[in-house]
Amino acid sequence: MYSNLLRAIAHDLRTPLTAIIGASSAIQEQKLSAEDQIRLAEGIRKDAEWLVRVTENLLSVTRVSNHGMIKKEDEVLEEIIGSAIMKYHRLPGSLPVDSDTLSDIILVPMDAMLIEQVMINLFDNVNAHAEGASKIWIHLRKENGMVFISVEDDGCGITPSLLPQILDGTYMSKHSRNDDRRNMGIGLSVCRSIIEAHGGRLFAGKSRHGGAAFEFSLPCKENMYVE
């Protein structure tokens, strides 16, 4: 597990770093038009933003890896979903997100930063892999003391035979493509360890909207009715 993860990380770091060094050296050393410089700067920024996301995932892993040491607080689910959507929408190329609302106030004991990270990873994942996706849906349901949060899209979907590998994080190492950044990277395996540390599970499947669905469950508390 550990060496797999480290390999995935090294992988996720090397490509954007190469691009950043290349682009910045070109700006310094070559005679470039203003437009070219701006274009290269845009590339640097995009790559750096990617690196930030990788680092944030790494930080999340360190927060989870002290078993049972997650500091959970009762959070209102929609606040965390709302905040994750807002952060995702800061990223260039983000898609519109349509979330179910529940009339009940659902309290979920969680480390809010980590669950927010899960949501952002799943949104990011749509951008990276769901070819043709135009929108993201969040569907919510409550069942037997668990809340199920499903992030779905209308993109190309997942080949069923790949599902198990995608969820256990081995997909990327076996199927490296030319564009390395298009890999699942560590995002999904981080999601999984965060969710499992909260006593939930991550599932993948087909969406009612035609694309992929990633659903996770979390133990939640009784309904809080308000007057």
- State yes or no: residue 222 binds another protein (CB under 8 A): no
Given candidates 29, 35, 222, 227, which one binds another protein under the rule CB under 8 A? 227
Residues touching another protein, count (CB under 8 A): 37
Our CB check for another protein shows the closer of 55 and 176 to be 55
Q: How far is the CB of 36 from another protein (least distance, A)?
A: 17
Tell me how crowded residue 204 is: count the other CB atoms within 10 A of its CB.
17
78-115 per-residue burial string, b: 16 or more CB within 10 A, e: under 16: bebbebbbeebeeeeebbebebeeeeeebbbebbbebb
HEC sequence for 156-216:
CCCCHHHHHHHHHCCHHHHCCCCCHHHCCCCHHHHHHHHHHHCCCCEEEEECCCCCEEEEE
> Which residue's CB is nearer to another protein, number 17 or number 105?
105
Q: How far is the CB of 124 from another protein (least distance, A)?
A: 15
- Binders of another protein among 45-104, rule CB under 8 A? 45, 48-49, 52, 56, 59, 63, 73-76, 78-83, 85-86, 89-92, 94, 97, 99, 101, 103
The arrangement of strands across the sheet holding 212-219 comes to 97-99, 136-143, 146-153, 212-219, 202-206
For another protein, the binding residues (CB under 8 A) are 45, 48-49, 52, 56, 59, 63, 73-76, 78-83, 85-86, 89-92, 94, 97, 99, 101, 103, 105, 107, 112-113, 116, 138, 224, 226-227
